[in-house]
Amino acid sequence: MKLGAVILTMGDRPGELRALLDSVAAQDGAPIDVVVVGNGSSLGDLPEGVRSLELPENLGIPGGRNAGIETFGPGGGDVDVLLFLDDDGLLPDKGTAELVRAAFEADPRLGIISFRIADPLTGTTQRRHVPRLRASDPLRSSRVTTFLGGANAVRTQVFQQVGGLPDHFFYAHEETDLAWRALDAGWSIDYRADMVLHHPATAPSRHAVYHRMVARNRVWLARRNLPLPLVPVYLLVWLLLTLLRRPSRAALKAWFGGFAEGWRTPCGPRKPMRWRTVWRLTRLGRPPVI
């Protein structure tokens, strides 16, 4: 099983990027074909054998990763599985690639694997990095309904069947959009606690555009993928959850601005999931209303 890796960078973490590339090169088994995508930035010297793709402008996370996918042929078809790794992450275990190969070979309907993200200093996994509602035990592997964007592996047949990440999302919820389309097409998603990416513990709100894009893309996600009766339910639940979290006045203003933007701007092609997919998500513990 041939593995490739797409690593997106803005050129501001050269030391961390080099450490990540070294950890990918050190993986057991056949070498992984790696491309580093400079998202609106130039790339310095890269290790021998690592391909580079410099984009003239920042296309956002999904756009940059989609560009990286296409360097492996249409839909990434030159390899069987693509790893997507944050440029400030690190694979601490040399056996991770072999675990990935074994998992996909054992289950032909496994489409996506979400790795466990652990802080390199404390070893802890933030609750938000466990892609399920019951997130208290990050060491428990399970079937899930979404995945982590910077620590995952995707069978390239998924991209060829349902398409890539939604370019226009730019940042936030692009993984769930792909996950819902993959699940609707019959693929499965696993969270694997034994496949670890070391990554410093951070807060997503560190990004200046976080609150606006989270709200805007939440609306787009619902409009694109949910059956019509579930769209208002899903968005009302998230509105209430946002208010319960008591964000600052500035954050709440940005959130409502993004929420309104999500309604008045195009969301991209609409393909609502089937009701049997809704039931499947519910049986997996996360009905698509939360």
Q: Per residue in 109-124, pLDDT tens?
A: 999 999 999 999 999 9
Alpha carbon dihedral 144, 149, 155, 158, in 10-degree steps, equals: 80
pLDDT at position 206, please? 55
Give per-residue pLDDT as tens, 72-129.
999 999 999 999 999 999 999 999 999 999 999 999 999 999 999 999 999 999 999 9
Q: Which two tokens stand for residue 286?
A: 């996360």
* β-pair partners for 151: 85
- Sort strands 33-39 and 51-55 into parallel, antiparallel or unpaired: parallel
The CA-based angle 155-171-234, given to 5 degrees, is: 85
Task: Give me the helices (H) in 71-155, please.
Answer: 96-106
Q: Which sequence spans correspond to the domains of the chain? A: 3-202, 205-283
pTM of the model: 0.96
Q: How many CA atoms lie within 13 A of 87 on its CB side?
A: 20
Rounded CA-CA distance 124/144 in Å is 20
**Angstrom distance (rounded) from CA 84 to CA 20:** 12
Domain 3-202 indexed as CATH 3.90.550.10: yes
Low-confidence ranges of the chain (pLDDT < 50): none
Residues in the chain, overall count: 290
